[in-house]
Amino acid sequence: MSAETHILAIDSEQKTRSLTKRYLKSVGYFCDTVASASQALDLLGENNYDLVLTDVKMTHENSISLLNELGKSHPNLAVIIMTSAKDTDLAMECLEIGAYDYVFKPFKKDALNIVVQRALNRRHLLSERRAYRLELEKKVHARTMEVVRAYHEIENTYQQTLEALVSALDFREQSTAGHSKRAVDYSRLLAIELGFRGDRLVPITRGALLHDVGKIGISDSILLKPGQLTKREWKVMKMHPIYGYQMLKDIRFLQPSLDIILHHHERYDGNGYPNGLAKLEIPIGARIFAVIDAFDAITSHRVYRAAKDFEKAYDILKENAGTQFDPHAVDAFLQIPKERLQKIFQNSLIHDDKKGESPEVGSAK
């Protein structure tokens, strides 16, 4: 260790500096000496030292300030205090703020060598421990990144699986995925308008995507019937929110979205289904989605009627605010710049042929 060890000694007395340098060189250390803390800081800025020996009581400078400065700028440096017997209190204070050890002046060569070796050994141990901790932190960070990546991959796989499930349903209705995609994008915009951010948007968009998944449980003769549904058929059709809820209720990551799936046909005035909830009894996600579902139904092409333009859809939503829809959600929807809705609409490649279970407004059934 000694052949490559560089030591800087600080003392205002020439005699002490010379003696220190001679002693340290004789046991194989490289040693520079300076008379003041400010000179020491200059040298430390330009060179790599392993250890600093400093007088505890410098003429115009404070060893406490020097130690504090070294603690910040050179945290790996070992510092030994050179002190006289009458300055032991100050030396103790230096130990408390980071000095490794102290040696009494005047010192003998062996005494100095023992203190220096002990400090260098301790520095070596601390340095190894620090390197080990840094290595450990790097490994933990790398593993955390792996877990995060794996989590995102799983999440993407979930999302793709859900989208495939919904596409299958849309195709069964001789439609395309356009309605679902628009429903997700419109719902996100409305939720943001209502103050939802970050993770709180996820249940809304997933619920919008999966809202009609329960239609898988409705027979073709009803779901694909070209004409009006009978009273009995309507009764069956109205089961789809419950079927969707039952299908997904045990999937933990979808539980926050179940409100939309189960309650997206509730009405603000309490005349909806399946539970006849009214006003704030209806979960907020379902109140948001009811507006979106109707807006998309009104502005989309149906085999039995042409799509209406956005202005007409706005009028219908306003007319039914407070009866079918949460008026607060309608107000928020009307605040969304029309161009943003149009962009979503235009980007959607699909003309949805969703059947007449759609909300009352916008539906021919």
Give me the residues that bind Fe ion (CB under 5 A), please: 212
Helix (H), strand (E) at residue 260:
helix 258-263
Q: Measured from the CB of residue 264, what is the shortest distance to Fe ion in angstroms?
A: 6
Between β-strands 51-55 and 78-83, what pairing exists: parallel, antiparallel or unpaired? parallel
Nearer to Fe ion, 84 or 275 (CB): 275
Q: Measured from the CB of residue 241, what is the shortest distance to Fe ion in angstroms?
A: 6
Helix then strand count (H, E) for the chain reads 15, 5
Q: Measured from the CB of residue 296, what is the shortest distance to Fe ion in angstroms?
A: 12
Nearer to Fe ion, 210 or 317 (CB): 210
Nearer to Fe ion, 50 or 212 (CB): 212
Nearer to Fe ion, 50 or 266 (CB): 266
Q: How far apart are CA 332 and CA 336, in angstroms?
A: 7
Strand order across the beta sheet in which 30-34 lies: 30-34, 6-10, 51-55, 78-83, 101-104
- The one-letter code for the residue type at 188 is R
Which residue is listed with tokens 């007319």? Answer: 319
Residue 362, SS3 per DSSP? coil
Nearer to Fe ion, 120 or 286 (CB): 286
Q: Measured from the CB of residue 315, what is the shortest distance to Fe ion in angstroms?
A: 23
Q: How far apart are CA 284 and CA 346, in angstroms?
A: 28
Instruction: Answer for the pair 45, 90: CB distance below 8 angstroms, yes or no.
Output: no
Q: Which residue is nearest to Fe ion (CB)?
A: 212
Q: Measured from the CB of residue 212, what is the shortest distance to Fe ion in angstroms?
A: 4
Q: Measured from the CB of residue 214, what is the shortest distance to Fe ion in angstroms?
A: 8
- The one-letter code for the residue type at 114 is I
> What distance lies between CA 28 and its chain's CA centroid?
54
Nearer to Fe ion, 50 or 357 (CB): 357
